[in-house]
Amino acid sequence: MNGAAGRVHLVRLGARRGWIEIRGSLTDPMEMFGTVLMLVIFLVVLFFQRDSELDGTGVSAAAAGLPGVIGLMVVFTGVLATAAALSMDREDGTLLRAKALPGGMGVYLVGKTVYMLILIGATVLLLLVPGLFLYDGTAAGLARGWPMLVWVLFLGIAATVPLGAALGSLFENPRLVNGIGMLPIMGLTAISGVFYPVTALPEWVQGIAQAFPIYWTALGMRAALLPDGMLAVEIGESWRTLETAGVLGAWALLGMVLAPVLLRRMARRVSGAKVEAARQKAMQRV
Angstrom distance (rounded) from CA 208 to CA 128: 28
Per-residue burial over 254-266, b if 16 or more Cβ lie within 10 Å, else e, is: ebeeebbebbeeb
Angstrom distance (rounded) from CA 81 to CA 112: 11
Contact, 224 vs 66, CB < 8 A? no
Domain boundaries, the chain: 16-45+62-285
| Residues ≥6 apart with Cβ < 8 Å to 236 | none
User: How confident is the model at residue 155, as a pLDDT?
Assistant: 92
Contact, 110 vs 13, CB < 8 A? yes
pLDDT tens column, 78-121: 888 888 888 888 777 777 777 777 777 778 778 888 888 888 89
User: How confident is the model at residue 140, as a pLDDT?
Assistant: 87
| H or E element that contains 118 | helix 104-134
Contact, 218 vs 67, CB < 8 A? yes
DSSP lists the bridge partners of residue 53 as 60
Positions in the chain whose pLDDT score sits under 70: 1-3, 6, 31, 56-57, 269-286
User: How confident is the model at residue 151, as a pLDDT?
Assistant: 95
User: How confident is the model at residue 129, as a pLDDT?
Assistant: 92
Quote the pTM value.
0.84
